[in-house]
Amino acid sequence: MTVLLQIRNAHKRYGDQILLDGAECTLGGNNKVGFIGRNGAGKSTLLKCILGDDELDTGEIIRHPKLRIGYLRQHDPFLPGETALEFLMRDSNQPDWKCGEVSGEFEIKGKMLETPMQNLSGGWQTRVKLAALLLHEPNLLLLDEPTNFLDLRTQILLEHFLRSFQEACLIVSHDRAFLNATCDSTLDLSMGELTLFPGKVDEYLEYQQGLREHDQRTNASIAAKRKQLQDFIDRNRARASTATRAKSKSKMLERLEVKESAADHANAVIRAPSVERRQGPALRTRDLSIGYADRTIATNVGLEIDHGSRAAIVGDNGQGKTTLLRTLVSSLSPISGEVRWGYGCELGTYAQHVYTSLPENKTVLEHLEYEAIPGTKNQTILDTAGAMLFRGTAINKKVRVLSGGERARLCMAALLLGKANVLILDEPGNHLDVETVEALADALIDYQGTVIFTSHDRHFLKRVATTYIEVRDGKVTQYRGDYDAYMYMVQKEIDDAESTRHGGTPKKPSSANNAPKAGQKNQPNKIAPQIDQRTVRKQVGNLEKNIAKLDQQRKEINQQLMESSDPQAALKLHEELTKVSAELDAAETRWAELQEQLEEE
């Protein structure tokens, strides 16, 4: 494996905050790595150091001489009036035919190429920037929160692009579904250290949970032992006959130390407002038309959302999801029709325009005191702030110095201190880390009020939503189908478009059985020779024995992995588990093929 990038003994701090503390990591080959860590842990800072936009305090970043980094820029690198094709040609110095060929991979073609960039939605602009990346032929992609504000179809196209990309990637994201779909390894930045785990983010989080539980059991045992020793010392230190033994026990006590783990560090424990459960409709719209003076976004909108529902508004960027939300909360007047909220509904709103317009000169504590219900105890405000990771001196930070994630959490804390029984949330997961998004999902599931929200995070949507509202092509449609059905529809549209672009041949699903075995070259398709049933049944019997053996091995390795407290040993076990799982999958696939042959006979 070619080592493209190596981080050695990296140290970085801002004031009292330690971001990197002897961190080390190696990236190379075509490895696709999901980069996770809590907000403020230093992920974006490390990316800047890799790009050369910032420097380490000490340590080094060693780059391969042939390293070509492609970085997905969050700002817009477009010139005024510049079309998509003109930007691609200027940015890449490639001819128009090459730019058109690559942009077609992202469905950018025809009139879209001649459209000025400022007229494209954020999702389409991101597609153009991805095409520009590909035109530079990088061998390492750095993507910092690439799914923020992307619609579902663009996310899926990005996933397809990354899975087909044959070089290395380092992707910072809070979207677990996206990371699981695109990355085969996980890099975690925690307590100043980098941990590279050879598995997907869900597997890593499960592994971390196992380690935390192990550390908690160990620490509980140590605490009990310390108490026992301290009791003995207190009883015997004053008596001459037992003073020597008490001194010996005292030395033992000094050597017993609890182990610091991630469980000892602050997690966002979110509690939604405590409200009374209500019955009947919370919201009704009749003959509603939404939009602006110069254009109508959707007409004949008829919605009915019951109290206690959690309604997800879905659809592509630019279709009108935010316009619908703004109309529902009266920050935008309807073109026609009406919006009726049920009796006693009190709305709490969380949206991008809210947390970007916070009072700059107030401190965190001052803002929460202002937003809290009159009479709220100061300790309650401090507890809520702490739940959103504002602890100690952080409570006195001025709003103007807060990061995007901190501002988002501050707005969420303000909502929690209110008494809203209807929460309107526009992309609540953006700028929140994986753990905080999970805590938010748990809180909304427990919430007795009504939730109306937008999100492109599929893991979050599947967990939280109970009903779906799609905004598309000038219509707003409400349905209570399973989200997987909606995903299937979107995926089918994308697959159909891709098959059309590739000559009208439907794409065949990928299969481990279609891939060449290790050390085997691709061979032309040949007609398989006839095999008699006796031979097939013998192979089936041998496979069943092998499957049972491999399955038992996998269970045993899983058990060892959960019990292991040594990170290096755990990595070796995970590599062994990956190998055994691949062999098991191949055996099961072959068994299914042979069963089909027997049935055909």
Query: Looking at 192-346, which runs of residues are DSSP E strands?
Result: 193-197, 281-292, 295-301, 304-306, 310-314, 336-341
Give pTM, 2 decimals: 0.62
In a domain, 273, yes or no: no
Asked if residue 394 and residue 446 are part of one domain, the reply reads: yes
Asked if residue 247 and residue 188 are part of one domain, the reply reads: no
Asked if residue 480 and residue 344 are part of one domain, the reply reads: yes
Asked if residue 343 and residue 240 are part of one domain, the reply reads: no
**Spatial distance between the Cα atoms of 580 and 187, rounded to a whole number of angstroms:** 23
Q: For position 255, what pLDDT does the model report?
A: 73
Q: For position 265, what pLDDT does the model report?
A: 52
Asked if residue 162 and residue 51 are part of one domain, the reply reads: yes
> What pairs with residue 292 in β-bridges?
295
**Spatial distance between the Cα atoms of 399 and 359, rounded to a whole number of angstroms:** 7
Q: For position 268, what pLDDT does the model report?
A: 60
In a domain, 508, yes or no: no
Q: For position 532, what pLDDT does the model report?
A: 59
Domain count, the chain: 4
Asked if residue 257 and residue 166 are part of one domain, the reply reads: no
Name which of 89, 76, 10 is nearest 43 in CA terms: 10
Asked if residue 300 and residue 168 are part of one domain, the reply reads: no
Asked if residue 468 and residue 397 are part of one domain, the reply reads: yes
In a domain, 543, yes or no: yes
In a domain, 275, yes or no: no
Q: Convert the pLDDT of each residue in 7-45 to its tens digit.
A: 999 999 887 778 899 999 999 878 899 999 877 788 888
What phi and psi, each to the nearest 5 degrees, are found at residue 175? Answer: -90, 100
In a domain, 363, yes or no: yes
Asked if residue 163 and residue 28 are part of one domain, the reply reads: yes
Q: Which CATH number goes with the domain that contains 351? A: 3.40.50.300
Q: For position 453, what pLDDT does the model report?
A: 94
Q: Among 430, 464, 491, where does a domain finish? A: 491
In a domain, 271, yes or no: no
The number of beta carbons lying within 10 Å of the beta carbon of residue 238 is 9
Asked if residue 50 and residue 155 are part of one domain, the reply reads: yes
The number of beta carbons lying within 10 Å of the beta carbon of residue 400 is 11
Query: Looking at 401-556, which runs of residues are DSSP E strands?
Result: 422-426, 450-454, 467-472, 475-479
Domain residue limits at 224? 218-264
How far does Cα 448 stand from its chain's mean position?
26
In a domain, 521, yes or no: no
Q: Convert the pLDDT of each residue in 195-205 to its tens digit.
A: 999 899 989 88
Q: Among 437, 462, 491, where does a domain finish? A: 491
Name which of 191, 260, 183, 202 is nearest 37 in CA terms: 191
Q: For position 601, what pLDDT does the model report?
A: 52
Q: Among 441, 476, 491, where does a domain finish? A: 491
Q: Which residues of the chain have pLDDT under 70?
A: 1, 73-76, 122, 149, 238, 240-243, 249, 258-269, 352-353, 431, 480-482, 497-534, 558-559, 561-568, 570-571, 574, 585, 588-589, 592-593, 595-601
Asked if residue 286 and residue 139 are part of one domain, the reply reads: no
Give the per-residue SS3 of 533-589.
HHHHHHHHHHHHHHHHHHHHHHHHHHHHHHHCCCHHHHHHHHHHHHHHHHHHHHHHH
In a domain, 525, yes or no: no
**Spatial distance between the Cα atoms of 98 and 589, rounded to a whole number of angstroms:** 40
Asked if residue 558 and residue 596 are part of one domain, the reply reads: yes
- The answer to whether 400 and 361 have CB atoms below 8 angstroms apart is yes
